[in-house]
Amino acid sequence: MSSHASSATTSTNTSSPPSNRSEAVRRWTCGLALIMFPALLLVQAVITPDDGGGEAMYAAATEHRSALLLSATLLIVSGILMAPAAAGILSLARRRGSIMAIVGAVLAVLGGTGHIALGYFYIMSAALPGGDRGEMIAYVDRIGASSALMIFVFPLLLCFGLAVIAMPWAAYRAGAVGRWAPITAAVAFLIHEGLPPEVEFQDLIGIVVLAVLTVVHGHLGLVVIRSRGRVESVRTPALGEAHGAETTRLAGVSAGR
């Protein structure tokens, strides 16, 4: 009997380290994805050349081709990282906030797909200098005015903006972060999207917004890395929650008596 118990114990001990390693890999992968996806977009916003219309895109492909291709690479990698970032939020909000986490995860994957599509558009635009200048500029302008682009790609980019609000909100609902995280992300996004076109320094404001989102989601990434399978609530329980917890505690004491 004792040899069987010893064998079972040995089997359990030998199987736990791989499980611990896989859990650590999961936490680090998801946590680093949350940290890196906005950070890469921040770098991309700093280095990307002006890509407004056909004229600007042709100039970017002609005079700043390396920066355009690097910008495309950062967009694509950031878009790919949205999937493990979403998985990290799902791991934080397994009970409370789980619905918001699922919504945020779907929005994150869709938004990442939009950034991947935009990155490939930059890559294709890098070949513009090989053709007639007037024709290439007109072609880019036609793409920008395409109704198909408005229907299929722009909603994906909007999903990204909604995802960067939904993910910290889900983490807040799960008790993983304070209320400051979703509020800061929401205010930053609304400021960026609500600015009228005539406001100056739009690019600089966009960089500041991405820096704020990097701080918020970087904090979420650190929470995921440190979570070790459970979340310590940083929220002060509401009055109803505190009363329910106290009632449960007293019931347990009474049962013990």
- Residue 241 belongs to a domain: yes
Yes or no: say if 213 and 164 are a contact pair by the CB < 8 Å rule.
yes
pLDDT the model gives residue 243: 43
Is residue 100 domain-resident?
yes
Is 189 a domain residue? yes
Q: What are 31-80's pLDDT values in tens digits?
A: 999 999 999 999 999 998 887 778 888 888 888 999 999 999 999 999 99
Determine, yes or no, domain membership for 201.
Answer: yes
- Mean pLDDT, residues 91-100: 89
- pLDDT confidence band for 248 (50 / 70 / 90): very low
- Summarize pLDDT for 175-214 with one digit per residue, the tens: 999 999 999 999 998 888 877 777 777 788 889 999 999 9
pLDDT, position 18: 53
**Do residues 140 and 122 lie in contact, with contact meaning Cβ atoms separated by under 8 Å?**
no
Whether residue 128 is contained in a domain is answered as yes
**pLDDT band for position 131 (50/70/90)?**
confident
171 in a structural domain: yes
Q: What is the pTM of this model?
A: 0.78
pLDDT over 90 for what percent of the chain? 49
**Least confidently predicted of 99-103, 109-113, 128-132, 238-242:** 238-242
The answer to whether position 1 is within a domain reads: no
- Number of folded domains in the chain? 1
Give the structural domain span for 53.
27-256
Query: Is 106 among the domain residues?
Result: yes
